[in-house]
């Protein structure tokens, strides 16, 4: 089933998503922006037939079945609710919301309306991640004992830039740490305890944040994220009989190696995919709607809500609050 997509907002991530939708041959029917001129430029760039000068017009468009929300973090909840209330399925850019409270409201609203609401954690849907989950579940590396990953980039230091602006949900946590934290939950299940430390920048946003989590099996996960320095951006899963090393950049299409404890290489996998790889989450969303399940196995909505709860706890521990809280 090919859904008719509407794209809400016209920033950089919306451009990447629209490009990958086109690569996958999906039906991109409309775009909406707070500016009619911006919507028209975006529509012309991607050959989208309908351009709307407001988000309200976009979600009211009868030719749109599902809306991709690509606004800054603090606007996700309101924009997603706008689409759900208009009867549209919704794919919400990660981090899903700013808080667990907001996430719970979206979960409840989607359930009431019988609609899909899904976090756009695109990494979960990439082919190499699917294969890695299969390997872990097969027991090929034994009992998983530890998981660790970094997401470290050298991003702009301008205080007005989105990554540094508290009013836009800026900081390493929601932009960067969401990837390795979600990865740890993907491999090990929910965190039972969370410990966090951080370094804060001049705007009050976190520039570095690290987590140490325990999981139900007793396994440990650790993550480190930074907006001030580019690290290896690799991830590792270590079991009692082997390990999986995911190469740079681990959360994007890349390669991985499975190595036995004795050093023998068991499998090499992964590689390039068409475009950036954001189309796989869109295909998953379409499958969910077609099946009527409305809750993807790769990332159930309850897990997105629970992860937001873990990030709430991280923020409590590091003393990070956003305006209005």
* Residue 116 clears pLDDT 90, i.e. is over it: yes
| % residues pLDDT > 70 (the chain) | 100
What is the arithmetic mean of pLDDT over 186-207? Answer: 98
d(CA 155, CA 137): 36
SS3 label, residue 254: coil
* Residue 40 clears pLDDT 90, i.e. is over it: yes
Supply the pLDDT for residue 1.
62
pLDDT per residue as tens digits for the range 291-325:
999 999 999 999 999 999 999 999 999 999 999 88
Give yes or no for a contact between 174 and 167, defined as CB atoms under 8 angstroms apart: no
| % residues pLDDT > 90 (the chain) | 98
Give yes or no for a contact between 319 and 209, defined as CB atoms under 8 angstroms apart: no
Give yes or no for a contact between 17 and 7, defined as CB atoms under 8 angstroms apart: yes
d(CA 232, CA 135): 23
Q: In terms of DSSP H, where are the helices of the chain?
A: 12-23, 36-46, 55-60, 73-85, 100-113, 127-138, 172, 178-188, 279-291, 301-318
pLDDT per residue as tens digits for the range 269-294:
999 999 999 999 999 999 999 999 99
- Paired with 192 in beta bridges are none
pLDDT band for 12, please (50, 70, 90 cuts): very high
pLDDT band for 27, please (50, 70, 90 cuts): very high
Domains and CATH numbers, the chain: 4-121 (3.40.50.720), 127-272+307-318 (3.30.360.10)
Give yes or no for a contact between 151 and 177, defined as CB atoms under 8 angstroms apart: yes
Supply the pLDDT for residue 62.
98
Q: How many CB atoms lie within 10 A of CB 271?
A: 11
- Paired with 209 in beta bridges are 198, 225
The DSSP 8-state label assigned to residue 35 in this structure reads S
Average pLDDT, the chain: 97
Residue 270 parent element (H or E): strand 265-270
What is the arithmetic mean of pLDDT over 94-122? Answer: 98
d(CA 24, CA 22): 5
SS3 label, residue 265: strand
Degrees, nearest 5: CA angle 286-291-292: 100
Give yes or no for a contact between 148 and 235, defined as CB atoms under 8 angstroms apart: yes
88 is catalytic: no
Supply the pLDDT for residue 325.
86
Nearest to 312 by CA among 100, 83, 38: 100
d(CA 151, CA 57): 37
What is the arithmetic mean of pLDDT over 151-165? Answer: 97
SS3 label, residue 28: strand
What is the arithmetic mean of pLDDT over 124-130? Answer: 98
Pick the catalytic residue from 94, 124, 162, 243: 94
The DSSP 8-state label assigned to residue 247 in this structure reads P
Report how far apart the first and last C-alpha atoms of the chain are (Å, whole number). 41
């Amino acid at each position: 089933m090919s859904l008719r997509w509407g794209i809400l907002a016209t920033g950089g991530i919306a451009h990447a998503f629209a490009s990958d939708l086109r690569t996958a041959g999906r039906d991109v029917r409309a775009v909406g922006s707070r500016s009619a001129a911006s919507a028209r430029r975006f529509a012309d760039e991607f050959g989208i037939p309908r351009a709307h000068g407001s988000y309200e017009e976009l979600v009211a468009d009868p030719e749109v079945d599902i809306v991709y929300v690509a606004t800054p973090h603090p606007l996700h909840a309101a924009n997603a609710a706008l689409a759900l209330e208009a009867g549209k399925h919704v794919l919400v850019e990660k981090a899903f919301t700013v808080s667990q409270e907001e996430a719970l409201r979206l979960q409840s609203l989607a359930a009431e309306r019988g609609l899909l609401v899904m976090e756009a954690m695109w990494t979960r849907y990439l082919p190499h991640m699917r294969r890695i989950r299969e390997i872990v579940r097969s027991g090929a590396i034994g009992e998983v004992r530890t998981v660790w990953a970094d997401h470290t980039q050298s991003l702009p230091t301008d205080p007005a830039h989105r990554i540094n602006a508290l009013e836009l949900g800026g900081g390493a946590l929601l932009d960067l740490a969401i990837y390795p934290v979600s990865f740890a939950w993907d491999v090990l299940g929910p965190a039972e305890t969370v410990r966090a430390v951080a370094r804060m920048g001049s705007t009050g946003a976190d520039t570095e944040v690290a987590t140490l989590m325990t999981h139900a099996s007793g396994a440990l996960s650790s993550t480190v994220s930074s907006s001030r320095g580019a690290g290896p951006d690799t991830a590792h899963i270590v079991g009692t009989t082997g390990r999986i090393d995911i190469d740079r950049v681990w959360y994007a299409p890349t390669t991985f190696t499975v190595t036995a404890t004795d050093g023998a290489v068991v499998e090499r996998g992964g590689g390039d995919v068409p475009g950036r790889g954001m189309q796989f989450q869109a295909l998953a969303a379409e499958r969910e709607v077609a099946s009527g399940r409305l809750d993807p196995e790769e990332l159930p909505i309850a897990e997105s809500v629970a992860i937001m709860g873990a990030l709430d706890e991280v923020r409590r521990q590091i003393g990070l609050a956003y305006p209005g809280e």
